[in-house]
Structure 1
Amino acid sequence: MPDLLGAYVERLDVIGNISLDLTRYPDHRGGARLGGAALFLSLAATKAGRRATPVCVLGSDLAHLPETPELDTLDWSARLQAEGTSTTFDLAYDLQGELVSVRTDYGVAEALTEHALGHVDTYPRATFHVCCRRPLDVAAVLGLLVQTAADFSVDFFLPSAEAMIRAASPWLPAATTLFVNAAEFQLLDQAVDCGTLPEVVVTDGPRAAVVRRFGHQVASAVPPPHAAREVSGAGDTLAGTFLAHRLRGATTARALAEATAAASRYVAAPPLPIPAPRRG
């Protein structure tokens, strides 16, 4: 048991969705791909040197993901396998990479809250990141994390950010780090006193990302320029990279520089294909 105990203490447990995505752009970029904040954030953290596990619910159509060679660096021990279809997102962007519309079928992710609460009960000393997205009951999950005095960080998704920030607001001052984009920061500033928040990372696409600590800017970094092929998942990549470096002892400035560089590389790389199930 001591080895298992040490293993989960040294990892990042990412509560969120893994999905089948369709992205659309006016210039015909995009297409079908793997998605989900829990996947992108866990992959980025792992690549940056922090073991990570997605606390997610996989449908029958993605049951084979843990066997996929490109994803075998992840710790899949916190997944729940369920009968039914995985979450799907249909995401439309404009040419500047701003999300225009989203259509969602949550599928088996409707069971995510119950699964996440059970996981927190089992591993209260773990370090958590909560992707505050529907259909997760963020009040229940964040309330339990605060009750157990767990270390946790959070992020949001713009289409649901106003409601999720409002639901999460009583517990946000207890979070180690919040990740928001510029539009979400405006919503955050309306819901809570940002001077009470220990660390907020604010991104703004290709423009400078900044870190605010108790309302004061303490670091900034401009992402290296790369032509964007796919922007969905860039924020998750930045968050996972930042958390991994901070958890390994990097300064805030160094972690932000590494995170913006990783996100910039991500948007220029090919998207994750949906792997075919193994035969035999």
Structure 2
Amino acid sequence: MIGNISIDTTRYPDGRTYALIGGAALHVALAAARAGTPARPVAVIGADLTRLHARPWPKKLDLSHVTTAAGASCRFDITYSTDGQVVGLTAAYGCATALTAHVLDVLDGSACDHWHICCRRPLDVRPVLEQLVMAGHPFSLDFHLASAAEQIHAATNALPHAVAVFVNAAEYRILDDLVAVNELATVVVSDGSGAVVLLRHGRAIDTELPQGGPVTEVTGAGDTLAGAYLADILQGSTEQEALASAVTAATHQARDPGLPYESP
């Protein structure tokens, strides 16, 4: 799982504020590991996340490709609306600006069954995807609304080669504007508390409605959906089975208070 591991501050309209360990690479990998598939995030962190390796992670989560660099870790400050949509985001990338170089080094020296790329700044996705396509490695992608147009444009040539693409409803509209969706093998579209739709070459073949219930922390729910879905597919589940399991995992994630961050 290629992407950020970050320190996230989340803010909600009712006044709740949380300081969490987050980042798409961690959330996707953690969901995959919990679903029974060995998962290895590829990320760059600073000294402010030195306690990361000491946490009691699932046995199938491998942090050997999480490297520590000088400077502060990537930080996101995220403000949500009452329906869980991002309405404000600021970022300080810190030492994560070294992520692209680290990823290219890892790609040169590592073998795995599947690569997942969390297409977010500051990762330069174009050379990463070019290398994966050239080598014929299976891969999947996800995006984040704040940079979706930029990242989808950068990934355009690689998208038809992706095993799966994960987006929310707003990101799907950008995707549909920029590429021919019917050329994409699988697109999974989430919509907050609404139905998750599975598309094959642009045609909806399955939908799954999340269970109702209280929502505590929505950060990482979409990433959890992607990680759980990929884990089930890699273990031989059908797309419909994987979608149902993934939606359940994302629902549970939204009810969880997240991973609290404590400064070293």
| TM-score, normalised by the number of residues in structure 2 | 0.97
- Decide whether the 8 Å contact of 1:59 with 1:84 is kept in 2: yes
1:4-43 alignment, distance < 5 Å: 14-43=1-30
Matching of residue 103 in structure 1 with residue 75 in structure 2: no
Task: Find the residue that maps to 2:40 and give its secondary structure.
Answer: strand
Q: Which residue of 1 aligns with 2:63?
A: 76
- Decide whether the 8 Å contact of 1:132 with 1:138 is kept in 2: yes
Q: Which amino acid aligns with 1:76?
A: L
| Residues paired across the two proteins, number | 264
Q: Which residue of 2 aligns with 1:195?
A: 182
Task: Find the residue that maps to 1:243 and give its secondary structure.
Answer: helix
- Decide whether the 8 Å contact of 1:237 with 1:262 is kept in 2: yes
Q: Which residue of 2 aligns with 1:45?
A: 32
- % identity of equivalent residues: 47
Q: Which residue of 1 aligns with 2:157?
A: 170
Report how far residue 95 of structure 1 moved.
Answer: 0.7
CA distance in 2 between counterparts of 1:34 and 1:227 reads 22
CA RMSD of aligned residues (A): 1.2
CA distance in 2 between counterparts of 1:53 and 1:146 reads 20
Report how far residue 178 of structure 1 moved.
Answer: 0.2
Matching of residue 216 in structure 1 with residue 210 in structure 2: no
- Decide whether the 8 Å contact of 2:114 with 2:138 is kept in 1: yes
Report how far residue 275 of structure 1 moved.
Answer: 4.4
- Decide whether the 8 Å contact of 2:73 with 2:96 is kept in 1: yes
CA distance in 2 between counterparts of 1:30 and 1:249 reads 39
CA distance in 2 between counterparts of 1:45 and 1:73 reads 9
Task: Find the residue that maps to 2:156 and give its secondary structure.
Answer: helix
Q: Which residue of 1 aligns with 2:125?
A: 138
Task: Find the residue that maps to 2:41 and give its secondary structure.
Answer: strand
Match of 2:42 among 30, 55, 58: 55
Greater mean alpha carbon deviation, residues 130-139 or residues 219-228: 219-228
Q: Which residue of 1 aligns with 2:241?
A: 254
Seen in structure 2, the aligned counterparts of structure 1 residues 44 and 252 have a Cα distance that, compared at 3 Å, is same
Q: Which residue of 2 aligns with 1:5?
A: none
- Decide whether the 8 Å contact of 2:3 with 2:43 is kept in 1: yes
Task: Find the residue that maps to 2:10 and give its secondary structure.
Answer: strand
Q: Which residue of 2 aligns with 1:204?
A: 191
Seen in structure 2, the aligned counterparts of structure 1 residues 90 and 72 have a Cα distance that, compared at 3 Å, is farther
Deviation string 1:215-266 (CA, Å, 9 cap, x unpaired) is 1111110011121111111000110000000110101111000111111111
Unaligned runs of 5+ in 1: 1-13
CA distance in 1 between counterparts of 2:89 and 2:142 reads 18
CA distance in 2 between counterparts of 1:212 and 1:46 reads 25
Unaligned runs of 5+ in 2: none
CA distance in 2 between counterparts of 1:183 and 1:103 reads 19
CA distance in 2 between counterparts of 1:154 and 1:146 reads 13
Task: Find the residue that maps to 1:95 and give its secondary structure.
Answer: coil
Q: Which amino acid aligns with 1:58?
A: I
CA distance in 2 between counterparts of 1:268 and 1:79 reads 27
Match of 1:225 among 212, 227, 245: 212
CA distance in 2 between counterparts of 1:126 and 1:107 reads 30
